[in-house]
Amino acid sequence: MPEELKLLIALLLTAGPPVLVCLVIPGSGLVVLFVGLLLAGHFQWQGLKSILKKAKPVAIRDLSPQMKLVRISGKITQTGEVLDAQDPALVMLKVQINGWRYAGGRHEYGGVWGKTKASPLRLDDGRGSMWIDPRPLDPRLLGEGTKVDYETMRKTCQILEKDIDQVIGGVSQIEYLVWEWRVGQQLTVIGNLQQENGEWKITRLKGQPMLVSHLEFDQLSERVLKTGSRVQGLSWGVIVLITLMIGCPVLAFGGWLLSILLSQGK
């Protein structure tokens, strides 16, 4: 075999696969980051699923120091801070404004502005009551927001001391979403039980906010299960796609190189 051909084959074996990868996936670093975020999201939802399974359902009057991770359900009877002047009193408010806007030389759709405000609340399950501080809220368990019109959102933003016109300039096809809890609403609360100054307190779970939702437990479990399964499927789908994008060109390159070697050996 000529020395020139040997040098060419050695160069292709060394530099060929990396070059192919760079050609097939120019933004390989971004792809890896994207896959990492998907997998992180999957493990987070799996963690929520585990917490829902382990949490012990208990009535407030039956709480005891031996209990750790608990789940209680009840109605909001009182708010620690008045967020608005309406009746029933507002306990939690979250708003989100989405739409199309021009940024970075192109039109993009996404979140334009959002904010959440909440107050400590008193929860009563019919057998007892206790104060709960839901802050900070975990947005994954708030369910779907209610779509409202511009005028409703303008009045809602006043509670958050925000002028809506300051944030929607240059935005088109705007979507206004509102989430709220009010006195009289049913809530599900999951967290670590502690006693402080003779009063029960449910605190944050390690590494994440306390779980508070207006969804009933069965609905909460179904939402976590379905979302976790979708994230898992998307994660593995992307990984398989990337493997095929890299593997097929590399295999084709190997076949081409093998054909050269075989033809030279004849």
Q: In tens digits, what is the pLDDT along the chain, a chain of 266 residues?
A: 554 444 444 444 444 555 555 544 554 555 555 555 555 555 566 677 788 888 899 999 999 988 989 999 999 999 999 898 888 999 999 999 999 988 777 888 899 999 999 999 999 999 999 999 998 888 878 888 999 999 999 999 999 999 999 999 889 999 999 999 999 999 999 989 988 888 888 887 766 667 899 888 888 877 776 665 565 555 556 556 656 666 566 556 556 655 665 666 55
Between CA 100 and CA 98 the distance in angstroms is: 7
CA angle 70, 76, 81 (to 5 degrees): 110
Three-state SS for 44?
helix
Residues 221, 254, single domain; the answer is yes
- The answer to whether residue 21 is domain-embedded is no
Three-state SS for 139?
helix
Rounded to a whole number of angstroms, the CA Rg of the chain reads 28
Residues 169, 118, single domain; the answer is yes
- Domain residue limits at 247: 217-260
Q: Indicate the number of domains in the chain.
A: 2
Residues 224, 127, single domain; the answer is no
Q: How many other C-beta atoms lie within 10 A of the C-beta of residue 108?
A: 10
pTM of the predicted protein model: 0.69
Alpha helix ranges (H) inside the chain: 3-24, 28-54, 150-159, 217-265
Residues 85, 205, single domain; the answer is yes
Residues 139, 236, single domain; the answer is no
